[in-house]
């Protein structure tokens, strides 16, 4: 030991991430992403059902897991991913996909959807007017 034990040691090679036995195979992951590209507005359950119709056995959990790895869980994220992918490859978005993207952007940009308030519940208003008979009071108008 001695002086050799105090000398800096060479760094070992970083370990690669282990492949878990229940992880989605890469070829199935590619098919799930293709299906997501075709139907960006579908939920992970519906993508799973559509893939089973084509002969790809992907469970809803597998589809959601692939989406989480690629950051596509929210529909708006999937639409932006599709737009970015079509721009890189020189593809064209369909009219339905463009309409979905405009609709999603409109929801996020619309200033009238959000009302500023000094604290939660400040702008709450409730109508408590009651017409009928209250027990012990009689008729109210």
Which stretches of the chain score pLDDT less than 50?
none
Judge whether 117 lies within some domain. Answer: no
Query: Which pLDDT value is given to residue 3?
Result: 83
Note the pLDDT tens digit of each residue in 58-80.
Answer: 899 999 999 999 999 988 888 88
User: Distance between CA 137 and CA 118 in Å, rounded?
Assistant: 38
Q: Are 80 and 72 in contact (CB under 8 A)?
A: no
The pTM of the full predicted model, rounded to 2 decimals, is 0.60
Number of folded domains in the chain? 1
Judge whether 128 lies within some domain. Answer: no
Which residue segment(s) compose the domain that 57 sits in? 26-111
User: Distance between CA 104 and CA 100 in Å, rounded?
Assistant: 6
Judge whether 16 lies within some domain. Answer: no
């Amino acid at each position: 030991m001695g002086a050799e034990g105090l000398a800096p040691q060479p760094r070992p090679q970083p370990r690669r991430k282990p492949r878990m036995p229940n992880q989605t195979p890469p070829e199935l992951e590619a098919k799930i992403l293709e299906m997501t590209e075709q139907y960006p507005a579908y939920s992970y359950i519906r993508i799973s059902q559509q893939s089973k119709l084509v002969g790809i056995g992907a469970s809803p959990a597998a589809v959601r897991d692939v989406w989480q790895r690629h950051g596509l869980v929210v529909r708006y994220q999937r639409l932006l991913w599709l737009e970015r992918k079509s721009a890189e490859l020189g593809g064209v978005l369909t009219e339905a996909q463009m309409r979905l993207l405009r609709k999603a952007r409109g929801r996020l940009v619309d200033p009238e959807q959000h009302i500023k308030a000094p604290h939660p519940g400040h702008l709450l208003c409730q109508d408590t007017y009651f017409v009928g008979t209250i027990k012990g009071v009689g008729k109210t108008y």
